[in-house]
Amino acid sequence: MKTLISLLSAMILASCTSMLDNNHFDIESRLKPYVDQFYQDAALRGVRVQHENLLVSETYSLSYKDGAAGKSYHGDIPMVRIASDLIDTGDTLKIQFVVYHELGHALLYRSHMANDDYSIMVPGDYRIADFKNPDRRKELIDELFQ
């Protein structure tokens, strides 16, 4: 039994490490479209963003309902975690907003802005309505990458 357990944990460890490629770039599948779009929006604006050492995952330990839709961590490998219940809503623009906000912290080293600033980096829901308007969304994305 002990052998089985250590064999199983060896397999689990092996599968964890194999999830990471050599660039330590691992994006959870449900979040990949948003992260890809972030890189596209950066490229469109001529902004180079690191394309390695990034982990983006979803987690049930956060909930958008208590206002913690996402979280980012700095370090050798920046990490972004997005609340699973937010992704479950299927509200693609809101998910995009939260992913961009967190990647703004993790990859662009942006800090929070004041509530009346016109920025994706305003914490909370203050700019969600603007983000859902196509023209304003473009301005907000321009601001993020400027």
User: Site residues for Zn ion, window 114-143 (CB under 5 A)?
Assistant: 123
For Zn ion, give the closer residue by CB, 87 or 122: 122
Per-residue CA distances from 125 to 78, 119, 120, 131 (Å):
24, 11, 10, 10
Please report how close the Cβ of residue 62 comes to Zn ion at its closest, in angstroms: 12
Please report how close the Cβ of residue 115 comes to Zn ion at its closest, in angstroms: 13
**Helix extents (H) in the chain:** 2-19, 32-44, 84-89, 92-106, 128-131, 134-145
Residue 66-95 contact track with Zn ion, rule CB under 5 A, x = bound: ------------------------------
> What number of chain residues touch Zn ion (CB under 5 A)?
1
For Zn ion, give the closer residue by CB, 17 or 111: 111
Please report how close the Cβ of residue 144 comes to Zn ion at its closest, in angstroms: 12
Q: Around Cβ 31, how many Cβ atoms within 10 Å?
A: 19
For Zn ion, give the closer residue by CB, 46 or 55: 55
Please report how close the Cβ of residue 41 comes to Zn ion at its closest, in angstroms: 18
Distance CA(116)–CA(138), nearest Å, equals 18
Find the distance separating the first CA and the last CA of the chain, reported in whole Å: 58
Distance CA(92)–CA(83), nearest Å, equals 13
For Zn ion, give the closer residue by CB, 15 or 111: 111
The residue ranges that bind Zn ion (CB under 5 A) are 123
